[in-house]
Amino acid sequence: MAPVAIGSDTGGSIRQPAGLCGITGLKPTYGRVSRRGLVAFASSLDQIGPMARSAADCALVLETIAGHDPGDATSLAEPVPPYTRSLEGSLEGVRIGRVPAHFGAGIDPEVAHAVEEAFAAFRAAGATIHDIDMPHADAGVACYYLVAPCEASSNLARYDGAHYGHRAEPGRGHRAEPGRGATGYESALVEMYCRSRAEGFGPEVKRRIMLGTYALSAGYYDAYYAKALRVRRLIRQDYLDAFAKVDLIGGPVSATAAFRLGEKTDDPLSMYLLDLYTVCTNLAGVGGISFPCGFTKSGLPIGFQLQSPALAEPLLLRAADRYQHLTDWHLRRAPLAAKGA
Amino acid sequence: MTASPTTATTVIGLEVHVQLLTETKLFCGCSTRFGAPPNTQVCPVCLGLPGSLPVMNRRAFDLAVRAALALDCRIAPFTKWDRKNYFYPDLPKGYQISQYDLPFSSDGTLEVADPKGAFARKVGIIRVHLEEDAGKSMHDEAAGTGDSRIDLNRAGTPLCEIVTQPDLRSPQEARAWLGELRLLLVWLGVSDCNMQEGSLRVDANVNLHIPVEGRVAKTPIVEIKNLNSFRAVERAIAYEAARQEDEWRTSGAEMGRVPKQTRGWDDAAGVTRAQRHKEESSDYRYFPEPDLVPVTVDEARLAGIRATMGPRPAALRLRLAETWGISAYDADVLVNQGSELVAWYEELAGLAGDGKVASNWMQQDVLRTLNERGGTIAEFPVRPAAVADIIGRIAKGDFDTSRGREIFAEVLASGRGVADVVASMGIAAVSEEELVALCRDLLAANPKIVADVQGGKEQAAAGLIGQARKKNPNVNPAKVRETCLALIRAM
């Protein structure tokens, strides 16, 4: 339908859908693309990036949208390299890390197989593969599901029905009274706030607002939010340690291929666990790209993820582009999509 | 209960919010001008629209640092922003960008001394931090509909919060200290401290220390809000001290056993009233503001700010007294009028060559006229050189001080120069011969006075001065007296 699109990735929302749908999606380094104009969910994690058929197309889009914005205090001042030209060159000597824990319990064997095949392809292209340890990665989901909801609970407070978006019609026949009126609300204004938010937010957003509000509350802050920030620093340190040994980190995007529509609605925890491989990239603020590396027997796309140090998008894009020159997974369409077309 | 009313000590700490004198808001480019039509000085950032992001105004930060330096605070080399979350119609983002655990400055002091020596108090500053102001809610109670209107022009205006130690000990001290704080901040151009326009707002924390049976009983701390003038601060604290003493006598409640209470000052009724519990208990869920980066402040930047500050009022009082030989009280009066008036005074004192006389003219003539006419010293139509000219002519004996005042009044009223006014008023120096001739005539016409003086009552000569001025308004009274006495002695 469109050759390229842009999305925002807070814990994997570019890379995971790209992986599940068989396209290429890039989450740049935090601050590489201005967040101005983006409806903020979790400000310290949100990052805008391209979604396209190929890494080369992602490079083209990133070259256009990246750069410093004086209107976003967190955007980076570093100059923007010519990403499209940095695709040239081989992967000879490039060190790619492989995290054995990624292939532990919970991963679909078909996904594991396709990912290992991709590692083999990189090795064939001249890269070397090294097993590395990310000791705090398994705390990533817990950490993410505190940091992100805490920020979201604050960022979403402005959706009160007063300025824009959905506004509930006020109830009739009552006025602001001290104490509680006939409607059970303290005042018509409070009723408008409460009902606008109740009607306008979906269940998953409400769940996260409640999680975040709870975790930031007096008496819980230290146990939850403050601890999550400490874990976040440890995860960032894991990446610094890893990137002292390797140039990129490879692995699966998600443990399984796409799940059925509504399949996980009643089990949010299992849905959160699907983010296991993507959230740490955001917590550390580094770059990540996801691209297709095969299909399941039932014809669903499988994604491969590469992560890079901050601002190493040229290498990240080159590696993905090289892979897409050696394989054609990114050109194939899932049978389901092809049938529908 | 054994304590008597006189043994209780009133313990006061203040929380002061001051709007900074910036052209634009703290995190966007909107104007901070007061009095514009509602909601005309707003943009996506201060309206909290989706996708908008704050960017710090460096001028506001430097101005806040200037205030903190003036209060002898320590400036943190690293400071960050935090979100203070609460829901209120005039807070469009649902949170205020403020500073929580790492304020940009802390540990300062500001001294205040009563010029007549009634008290001198060194007040510790716990912290000064920077935050954005909220909008304004206008509750239309008169209309009876309960409608409220929101003006977001003020939302995002830079605000310094100054928190003192509980070091003040009386309502008078609190008022005087606030006066000194206002003087300092206006002096340095940090704020206009206009309470009517809300650019200076005060909350007071008050409790009593009552010696009782060998220990000190401390009454529960009450925070007083809605203090709209310095007079209100003084009255509210005095009221609250008396109320707490009464309450302690009946309930015996002490600090720590009951929660801190918030009371609002009702200026018309002259009482504080308890606010609803809901208004006082808040959980602001502070956390670091992820849309902004921390601010680092190095020594070079501090030096740059310090270099533009000049002497502070306290130092200037001492210097004026020393340089110009005026009393501490006079120096206080002059300095309390602000830096522009002090500059005016020093120019006058220099030209006139007499600091004391210049100070008298400032206080009796210039300040009195300013108070009557309104306006600032910068708008005053008479320049220091003109007043110095008048002072110089008085010193030369051209005319006396009361004649000088008439000249001053005419210069003020007509806008003409001193020499011109002197000439048109027919003021001319009286020669020695004219003076002697005039005195001879007077003595001849007043034998009784001559006899009285000869009888040892020199003060009788005063009766001659009025007559002399009637004959010639230009004569100098002291010289008339001197000459007449000499002539009588020579008789």
- The answer to whether residue B75 sits within a structural domain is yes
Tell me whether B374 touches chain A (CB under 8 Å): no
Which residues of chain B does A160 touch, with a Cβ-Cβ cutoff of 8 Å?
A: 87, 94
The CATH number for A237's domain is 3.90.1300.10
What ipTM goes with this model? 0.92
- The answer to whether residue B242 sits within a structural domain is yes
- The answer to whether residue A116 sits within a structural domain is yes
Least CA distance to A42: which residue of chain B? B290
Q: How confident is the model at residue B129 (pLDDT cuts 50, 70, 90)?
A: very high
Residue A124 reports pLDDT greater than 70: yes
Looking at B276, B300, B324, which one is the last position of a domain? B300
One domain, residues A136 and A165: no
Of B56, B148, B290, the CB nearest to A44: B290
Residue B1 reports pLDDT greater than 50: no
The boundaries of the domain holding residue B482 are: 432-489
pLDDT at A274: 84
Q: In angstroms, what separates the C-alpha of A100 from chain B's closest C-alpha?
A: 33
Mean pLDDT in chain B? 91
One domain, residues B16 and B37: yes
Q: Give which of A163, A197, A213 to mutate to test B binding, by max B Cβ within 10 Å.
A: A163
Residue A306 reports pLDDT greater than 70: yes
Q: Which residue has the higher pLDDT, A181 or B54?
A: B54
Q: How confident is the model at residue B2 (pLDDT cuts 50, 70, 90)?
A: very low
- The answer to whether residue B305 sits within a structural domain is no
One domain, residues B263 and B295: yes
Q: In angstroms, what separates the C-alpha of B351 from chain A's closest C-alpha?
A: 52
Least CA distance to B96: which residue of chain A? A154
Q: How confident is the model over B194-221, as pLDDT tens digits? A: 999 999 999 999 999 999 888 999 999 9
- Distance of alpha carbon B56 from alpha carbon B292, whole angstroms: 8
Total structural domains within chain A: 2
- The answer to whether residue A207 sits within a structural domain is no
One domain, residues B326 and B412: yes
Q: What is the rounded average pLDDT of the residues A248-260?
A: 94
- The answer to whether residue B470 sits within a structural domain is yes
Quick one: which H or E segment has residue A110? helix A109-124
One domain, residues A136 and A260: yes
Which residues of chain B does A185 touch, with a Cβ-Cβ cutoff of 8 Å?
A: none
One domain, residues A130 and A226: yes
One domain, residues B398 and B438: no
Which residues of chain A does B56 touch, with a Cβ-Cβ cutoff of 8 Å?
A: 73
The boundaries of the domain holding residue A113 are: 4-145+222-340
One domain, residues B362 and B485: no
* Listed residue (A328, A253, A252) closest to A54, CA to CA: A328
Percent of chain B with pLDDT over 90: 67
One domain, residues A295 and A169: no
- The answer to whether residue B82 sits within a structural domain is yes
One domain, residues A277 and A189: no
Tell me whether B95 touches chain A (CB under 8 Å): yes
Q: Which residues fall within 8 angstroms of residue B443, CB to CB, at 6 or more apart? A: B449, B450, B464, B484, B487, B488
Which residues of chain B does A43 touch, with a Cβ-Cβ cutoff of 8 Å?
A: 290-291
If you count residue pairs, one on A and one on B, with CB atoms under 8 Å apart, how many are there? 79
Quick one: which H or E segment has residue A98? strand A95-98
One domain, residues A180 and A111: no
- The answer to whether residue A205 sits within a structural domain is no
* Listed residue (B55, B100, B34, B80) closest to B286, CA to CA: B100
One domain, residues A174 and A42: no
Q: What is the rounded average pLDDT of the residues A313-324?
A: 98
CB contact under 8 A, B92 and A189: no
One domain, residues B296 and B316: no
One domain, residues B258 and B317: no
Q: Give which of B43, B53, B81, B295 to mutate to test A binding, by max A Cβ within 10 Å.
A: B53
Residue A172 reports pLDDT greater than 90: no
- The answer to whether residue A194 sits within a structural domain is yes
Q: How confident is the model over A46-92, as pLDDT tens digits? A: 999 999 999 999 999 999 999 999 999 999 999 999 999 999 899 99
- The answer to whether residue B306 sits within a structural domain is no
- The answer to whether residue B128 sits within a structural domain is yes
Residue B40 reports pLDDT greater than 90: yes
What are the phi and psi torsion angles at B10 (to 5°)?
Answer: -85, 125
One domain, residues B293 and B317: no
One domain, residues A226 and A249: yes
Looking at B424, B446, B466, which one is the last position of a domain? B424
One domain, residues B381 and B484: no
Q: How confident is the model over A213-223, as pLDDT tens digits? A: 999 998 899 99
Q: How confident is the model over B71-93, as pLDDT tens digits? A: 999 999 999 999 999 988 999 99
Total structural domains within chain B: 3
Quick one: B115 exposed, middle or buried, by C-beta within 10 A (0-12, 13-18, 19+)?
middle
One domain, residues A241 and A304: yes
Tell me whether B93 touches chain A (CB under 8 Å): yes
- The answer to whether residue A214 sits within a structural domain is no
The CATH number for B471's domain is 1.10.10
Q: What is the rounded average pLDDT of the residues A178-193?
A: 70
Mean pLDDT in chain A? 92
One domain, residues A164 and A305: no
One domain, residues A264 and A310: yes
pLDDT at B352: 93
Q: Which residue has the higher pLDDT, B125 or B455?
A: B125
- The answer to whether residue A151 sits within a structural domain is no
- Distance of alpha carbon B121 from alpha carbon B179, whole angstroms: 13
Residue B366 reports pLDDT greater than 70: yes
pLDDT at A41: 97
One domain, residues B272 and B323: no
The owner of tokens 């190929």 is: A54
- The answer to whether residue B178 sits within a structural domain is yes
Give yes or no for a contact between A267 and A124, defined as CB atoms under 8 angstroms apart: no
One domain, residues A244 and A317: yes
One domain, residues B334 and B242: no
CB contact under 8 A, A43 and B291: yes
The owner of tokens 């002898």 is: B72
One domain, residues B396 and B345: yes
- Distance of alpha carbon A295 from alpha carbon A330, whole angstroms: 11
A273-294 b/e with 16+ CB inside 10 Å = b?
A: ebbbbbbbbbbbbbbbbbbbbb
Q: How confident is the model at residue A162 (pLDDT cuts 50, 70, 90)?
A: confident
Least CA distance to B290: which residue of chain A? A44
Residue A126 reports pLDDT greater than 80: yes
